[in-house]
Amino acid sequence: MADNLIAPALVGAAVLAVGVAAGGAFVGKGVENARVGDRAVTVRGLSERIVKADLAVLPLKFASAGDDLQAVQADVDADTAAVRRFLAAQGYQGSEVDLGRLEVTDQYAREYQQQNVAARYRVAQTVIVRTTNVDRVQATTRQLDQLIRQGVVLQDYNGPSYLFTKLNDVRPAMIAEATASARSGAQQFARDSGSKLGGIRQATQGSFEILGRDDVGYDPSSQVFKKVRVVTTITYRLK
């Protein structure tokens, strides 16, 4: 009777042992796969292209000083008219030329008055050219000596600013280039490590930068040609 009970018990124990062993094997395989799934590589993709500015802003500032405010203002008005005539001769439309800030300084009214002030009043006016004709602005800057010959002395002249405003036109293609560059790097890493490249786990698009084409230490806005750059950071799964 006891032998009859022992036999089924042994069979059951054997079945249980096999089940536990099999279960352990599956668990082990699952951990292995989980670890493989955690393997990843993070790469960066770069896209750069050279573009030409499509907007130019040229501020022309001039001033006059004296003890008679009306006479000083009359001088500034005459310079303003001379600048407008000069710009019209250069081919600018009226809509491309505007008056900027008018500055009037009374030296006697300043909190910290300087000693031996040469002139009581100083009036400064800025005329601003804003145009999409970048080439014309470049030509104009080479002919500003004509204003000097007319007695118009430019103040704080730093040249024009050249801007690129059509970033949306190049954005999609550049993002695609940067993404392709990142994938190419990830594929090379996968081959070198004996892995296969999986899908994207995480992706970050860096901000676009608009730099001067020539890295010569100048203000990028002073350069007509720009370098547009974007860097994407992508994490790929490895399998």
Mean pLDDT over residues 96-115, rounded? 84
Please tell me the pTM assigned to this model. 0.75
For residue 50, which phi and psi values (nearest 5 degrees)? -95, 130
Bridge partner residues of 47 (DSSP): 230
Bridge partner residues of 106 (DSSP): 121
Which one-letter amino acid corresponds to residue 152?
A: V
Give the C-alpha separation, 51 to 174, whole Å: 12
Residue-level pLDDT at 100: 94
Q: Which pLDDT band holds residue 35 (cuts at 50, 70, 90)?
A: very low
Residue-level pLDDT at 216: 73
Give the C-alpha separation, 92 to 85, whole Å: 10
CB 118 within 8 Å of CB 68: no
Q: How buried is residue 45: exposed, middle or buried, by Cβ count under 10 Å (0-12/13-18/19+)?
A: buried
In this model, does residue 208 exceed pLDDT 50?
Answer: yes
Q: pLDDT of 41-83, one tens digit each?
A: 999 999 999 999 999 999 999 999 999 999 999 999 999 999 9
Mean pLDDT over residues 81-86, rounded? 97
Task: Give the closest residue to 165 by CA, choosing from 205, 206, 128, 134.
Answer: 134
Mean pLDDT over residues 12-22, rounded? 42
Tell me the pLDDT of the chain averaged across its residues.
85
In this model, does residue 110 exceed pLDDT 70?
Answer: yes
Give the C-alpha separation, 108 to 140, whole Å: 38
Q: Which pLDDT band holds residue 107 (cuts at 50, 70, 90)?
A: confident
Domains within the chain, CATH numbers bracketed: 37-53+163-238 (3.30.110.170), 54-161 (3.30.70.2970)
